[in-house]
Structure formats: structure tokens, C-alpha cells
Amino acid sequence: MERTPGRVRLQDLTALHAPIRAELDAAMARVIDSGRFVLGEELEAFEHELAAYVGARAAVGCGSGSDALLLALMACDVGPGDEVIVPAYTFFASASAIARLGARPVFADIDPDSFAMDADHARRLAAGCKRLRAILPVHLFGRAGDVDGYLSLASELGVPVIEDAAQSIGARDASGAKVGSRAHLSCWSFYPTKNLGALGDGGMVTAHDRSLAERITALRSHGAHAAYQHEEVGINSRLDALQAAVLRVKLRHLEAWTKARAENAAYYDGAFAQAGASTSTQTLDDACLPLLTPAPLPFPARCVYHQYVVRVPGARRDALANDLRERGIETGIYYPVGLHQQPSLAIPGQRHAGLTATEAATRETLALPVHPELDRDARTRVAEEMICLLRG
Ligand SMILES: Cc1ncc(COP(=O)(O)O)c(C=O)c1O
């Protein structure tokens, strides 16, 4: 009898947690027995370990990646009427944190190969800004953007780089430096499906400047520098001790999981190249498979494949995603709409020019399953079904 193949999932947290379940249970039991659930030793230990892993001097745990962005902007005194340059192609939180403070997100285009902010476009936008307070690049899908470009632009402009590193823990930029080791402030998310995910929401800001980290430490606890002494108005956003304990366990497995993601990505690269796909730095001709795989990343840069994202040109992406779903294969579309097109971020009368790479990405990108628990049969099936559908 022929066996029906199972569903290939875009994420599989149950499979990820099964082999480390005893470690997670022990860590959670330790916190429950301690009776300390907010702030305290468990969080401090995780903050030290995370700072060491990303190469930062200080780390401040908070309630989510979205709050990490908000706290970082608050610590850089971003407020009403200010401007912050951010890419238009990213998750909503990268820009909503700016808007929540009454400041204006100024939308830059992306580099089509890295999907991260185009530093040259950001420079042109900065020339038209009157109250620019920061630039906020995003390292998307596990791949670092142009960190050298962002740092030199920020130093020319005299503003900090606040990087959204939610999707890129462990990634290295073109110089080989880890994401988190060079920007003024780096914002991390531990949303469950992130490469390092909590069992709920969680986030962190890492910093080099200890005084900025101290300010964020106060801001996450209602702006209190000492008990009941509120020098400014902050928010309530701490990383729970339970989540910190879980994340300490998971951090020990992160390198192995990242290696498994990279192996899955290398398999796809090879299978698609063999079938006639091009990489996103090449041009497609009629003889090619109509598929563009991620641009090669020369050593010492390192992608951690939070997502393995291909481009499907020619208005075929959505139909392909539907056909794959019918064959039991989950995919994701990150992101179908540019942030400049989000009604909640629109400013009456404002026009956005030069976002061509952003708009192309919203039409063409498709994320394939790449998670560490994806087995060989599943990834072979994904590649074969993709190739068959694209040829058909
Ligand atoms: C690029 C990016 N920025 C910010 C966030 C916000 O993180 P969180 O969901 O932890 O608030 C996410 C993830 O969800 C993200 O992918």
C-alpha cells in the first residue's frame, strides 16, 4: 500500500523541544522552586550569556522584540516630530516602535540580495531629513546587512545605529563580526519561532555603552533607577525568569541548530542549481528554472537562515505557494506588503519614491521550510515538488 507523505511544516517547535525536554523541565523547576519570577539571578545570568554570545558589553532583557525596539529608541531620546530611517521591507514592529513614540519612520529601500536596508538610499533620504535621530537597519532572514555602510553613514550624520537583529542571532557581517557586536544598540526577539525562541514572548537590547544599558534597565521598570524613584516615565517590560531559564538551555543548542539550518539551505541551493535555477545575483533567461535562490555569501560572513527565502518572478509566487500547500508543504510570505503601504503608518500627503526593490520583494519572495528538525525526506520533497511545479 502506498503511504501518503505527511505535511512538511514551516516550523516544528514540538520536534525541536522533544530531545531537550528534560533540560527544559529542570530549568523551569529550578525557577519555580526559587520563588523569583521577575528580574533576579536567572535573568542576570542569561543577560551575561547572551551578551557574550553576540559580542556586546551589556544586555537588558525585556518583554518582546517589539519592546526592545521601543526601549532602544526611548534610550536614544526619539520623540514626537523626530525622524528615524528604517527599511520599508521588514516586520511591522521595526517601524511601529518609531510611530508609537510620535516619530516618523522614513522608509528606505532594500538591497535586493541581502533584503536589508540599502545604505546609499538611506544616505539620500537623510539629506532630506530635518530631525533625524537614528538609523534602524534590519538584518532579515538571518543575514547581516551592510554594517560597515550603516556605521559610516551614522557617524557622518552623528546619529546612532539601532539594529533590529530579531531574525539574525549568530549571523556574521561581511567583516566576519557578529551581528550585535558593532551597532550602538541591537534589538533581539525570542518569539517562539525565532532561531533562539522562548516558550512565549521575550526580547533583549544589547549595547556597548554601559550608560545606555543602565538607562534601558530603568526604562523597562517604569523608569525607576532605584526602588520607587522614577526619574523618567518608562514602561513595564521585563523578560520573565522562567523564559530566561528556558533560553539559557536553548542557547547551549543554538550552534547545532544553526548548523542544521545551514545544511538544509545548502541542500536547497544545490538541488535548485542542478535543476537550472539562478542565484539572486544572476539574471534569468528562458532556459532557466524560473527561480532565484539566495545570493552567495562569501566567508567570513555567515547567514543563520532564520528563513530560506527564494524569489519567484513573473507573478507566479502566490499560485506556487497555493500549489505547494495542496501538496502538503507549508511556505511563508515575508512580507506581502511594504511598510510604506500600511494604512496605520501612512502620513497624509506623504509620497514614497525609490522603493522598487521593496515592492519587487513583496511580490516575489517565498520562504521554504529550513528549520533544524527538517529531515532529509522532507527537504527532498520540498525541492522536488518546487522544481516539478515550476517546470509544469
Ligand atoms: C524583524 C523583526 N523585528 C521585530 C520583531 C518583533 O519581535 P516580537 O515578536 O518579539 O515582538 C520581529 C518578530 O516578530 C521581527 O521579525
**Three-state secondary-structure class, residue 346:** coil
pLDDT surpasses 80 at 149: yes
Atom in ligand 1 nearest the alpha carbon of residue 203: 10
- According to DSSP, the residues that pair with 230 across neighbouring strands are 224
Atom in ligand 1 nearest the alpha carbon of residue 64: 10
The residues near 304 (Cβ < 8 Å, ≥ 6 apart) are 142, 143, 168, 169, 170, 171, 195, 258, 261, 262
Give which of 131, 97, 90 is closest to 107, Cα–Cα: 90
- The predicted-structure confidence for 287-334, as pLDDT tens digits, reads as follows 789 999 999 999 999 999 999 999 999 899 999 999 999 999 999 999
How many Å lie between the centroid of ligand 1 and the Cα of residue 86? 14
Please state the rounded mean pLDDT for residues 137-161.
98
How many Å lie between the centroid of ligand 1 and the Cα of residue 90? 9
Q: What residue owns the CA closest to ligand 1's atom 5?
A: 65
- The predicted-structure confidence for 166-211, as pLDDT tens digits, reads as follows 999 999 999 999 999 999 999 999 999 999 999 999 999 999 999 9
Which residues make up the CATH 3.40.640.10 domain(s) of the chain? 13-251
Q: Determine the residue of 191, 238, 239 to mutate for testing ligand 1's pocket, defined as the one with the most ligand atoms within 8 A of the Cβ atom.
A: 191
Q: What is the pLDDT of residue 247?
A: 98
Please state the rounded mean pLDDT for residues 256-264.
98
Helix axes 41-54, 21-34, angle to 10 degrees: 140
Q: What is the pLDDT of residue 4?
A: 58
Helix axes 210-219, 65-75, angle to 10 degrees: 120
How many Å lie between the centroid of ligand 1 and the Cα of residue 137? 13
Q: What is the pLDDT of residue 12?
A: 96
Atom in ligand 1 nearest the alpha carbon of residue 138: 1
Q: Determine the residue of 62, 91, 96, 186 to mutate for testing ligand 1's pocket, defined as the one with the most ligand atoms within 8 A of the Cβ atom.
A: 91
CB-based contact 293:269 (threshold 8 Å):
yes
Percent of the chain with pLDDT over 70: 99
pLDDT surpasses 60 at 1: no
| Residue 132 banded pLDDT, cuts 50, 70, 90 | very high
Distance between CA atoms of residues 165 and 146, nearest Å: 13
And the C-alpha cell for 372?
533544524
- CATH class (in words) of the domain with range 254-391: alpha beta
- CATH class (in words) of the domain with range 13-251: alpha beta
Residue position matching grid coordinates 520536534 = 15
- The predicted-structure confidence for 215-256, as pLDDT tens digits, reads as follows 999 999 999 999 999 999 999 999 999 999 999 999 999 999
pLDDT surpasses 90 at 160: yes
List pocket residues of ligand 1, CB cut-off 6 Å.
64-66, 90-91, 93-94, 138, 164, 166-167, 189, 191, 201, 203
Q: What is the pTM of this model?
A: 0.97
- The predicted-structure confidence for 329-383, as pLDDT tens digits, reads as follows 999 999 999 999 999 998 877 788 889 999 999 999 999 999 999 999 999 999 9
Give which of 165, 253, 250, 222 is closest to 39, Cα–Cα: 222
pLDDT surpasses 80 at 3: no
Q: What is the pLDDT of residue 387?
A: 97
Q: What residue owns the CA closest to ligand 1's atom 7?
A: 65
CB-based contact 275:310 (threshold 8 Å):
no
How many Å lie between the centroid of ligand 1 and the Cα of residue 60? 16
Q: What residue owns the CA closest to ligand 1's atom 10?
A: 65
pLDDT surpasses 60 at 108: yes
Distance between CA atoms of residues 131 and 128, nearest Å: 10
Q: Determine the residue of 189, 194, 235 to mutate for testing ligand 1's pocket, defined as the one with the most ligand atoms within 8 A of the Cβ atom.
A: 189
Distance between CA atoms of residues 262 and 258, nearest Å: 6
pLDDT surpasses 70 at 32: yes
Which residues make up the CATH 3.90.1150.10 domain(s) of the chain? 254-391
Q: What is the overall mean pLDDT for the chain?
A: 96
Instruction: Output the CA angle 121-124-125, nearest 5 degrees.
Output: 90
